[in-house]
Amino acid sequence: MKSNTMILHTAALLIMPLQLMFSVFLLFRGHDEPGGGFIGGLVAAGAFVLYAFAFGAEPARRILRVGPRDLLGAGLLLGLASTLPALLSGQPMLTAHWWELPLPGGDYLKLSTPLIFDIGVYFAVLGTIMTFVIGLMEAEE
């Protein structure tokens, strides 16, 4: 299924990159402000769904580059990977670890296992919805 309206095509091309950037923004600000991996994943999924509506399932697959199921796998693996630092240092599972990397200019880049975990949630949510939508659209065809 794909639509043939020019308005939707143009809108999709314009909105999708913005929406994807916004989803990443939501993902990273999540720890302090409203947002996070779940919401970010939903927004990103919305962007790809919009694209899929405008251009069809196959082009949506191409622009995703990796299969929706691989996204699921990546999300779950990241979620599990975030448990490793605690495990290897003998702490209870999912104990948070924080690292500060100095950046040029005196700033610090804060990295943490909750962030890795949140990115995993992001991919899992995105993968789930894309599996649904692309699966349904292909079943239609």
Partner 1 sequence: MLLAVLSGFLLAIVVPLLHRVAGKYIGWLLALLPASLVAYFSTFLSQVQGGPLLLEYQWLPGLGISLNFLVDGLSLTFALLISGIGTFILIYAGSYLAGHKYLARFFVIMLAFMASMLGLVLSDNLITLFVFWELTSITSYMLIGFNHEDLEARKCALQGLFVTVAGGMALMAGLILLTIMTGSYSISAILASGDPIHQHAFYTAAVLCLLAGAFTKSAQVPFHFWLPNAMAAPTPVSAFLHSATMVKAGIYLMARLNPALGEGEFWSMMLMGFGAATMLTGAWFAFSSTGIKKVLAYSTVMALGTLTMLIGVGTELAMTAFICFLIAHSLYKGALFMLAGALDHETGTKDISRMGGLRKAMPVTATIAVFAALSLAGLPPLFGFIAKELMLESLLDAPLWSNLLVMAAVASAILIVGVAGLVAIKPFFGTPGDTPKTPHEAPFGMLIGPAVLTIIALAFGLMPFLPENALLKAAVASVYGAPVDFHLALWHGINAPLLLSAVSLIVGLLLFRAWPRIQPTLNAINYAGSRVGPEAGYFKIMEWITVVASWQTRMLQNGVLGIYMLVLVAVTFGLAGYTMLDKYGVHFTLNLADSHFYEWGIALLLVASAVFASSTHSRLGSVASMGVLGFGVALTFILFSAPDLGITQLLVETLTVILLVLVLFKLPEFVNLSTPFQRYRDLAVSVFAGITITLMMLAVLDIQYFETISTYYVENSAPLAYGRNIVNVILVDFRALDTLGEIFVLSLAALGVLSMLKLKAEDQHKP
Strand boundaries in 72-116, DSSP class E: 98-102, 108-112
In the complex, minimum distance from the CB of residue 122 to partner 1, in angstroms, rounded to a whole number: 10
CB of 64 to partner 1, least distance (A): 14
What is the distance between the alpha carbons of residues 45 and 37, in angstroms, rounded to a whole number? 12
Buried b / exposed e over 94-118, threshold 16 CB at 10 Å, is: eeebeeeeeeeeeeeeeebbbbbbb
Question: First CA to last CA across the chain, in angstroms?
Answer: 7
Query: Taking CB under 8 A as the rule, which mask of x and - marks residues 4-33 in contact with partner 1?
Result: --------------------------xxxx
Tokens found for residue 89: 């240092």
Angle between helices 37-55 and 113-140 (to 10 degrees): 30
Minimum CB distance to partner 1 smaller for 17 or for 132: 132
**Contacts to partner 1 from residues 46-75, by CB under 8 A:** 46, 49, 53, 68-69, 72, 75
- CA-based diameter of the chain, in Å? 58
Question: Which residues within the stretch 80-139 sit at the binding site for partner 1 (CB under 8 A)?
Answer: 80, 82-83, 87-88, 90-94, 96, 98, 110, 112, 114-115, 117-118, 120-121, 124-125, 127-129, 131-133, 135-136, 138-139
By CB under 8 A, name the binding residues for partner 1.
Answer: 1, 30-39, 42-43, 45-46, 49, 53, 68-69, 72, 75-77, 79-80, 82-83, 87-88, 90-94, 96, 98, 110, 112, 114-115, 117-118, 120-121, 124-125, 127-129, 131-133, 135-136, 138-140
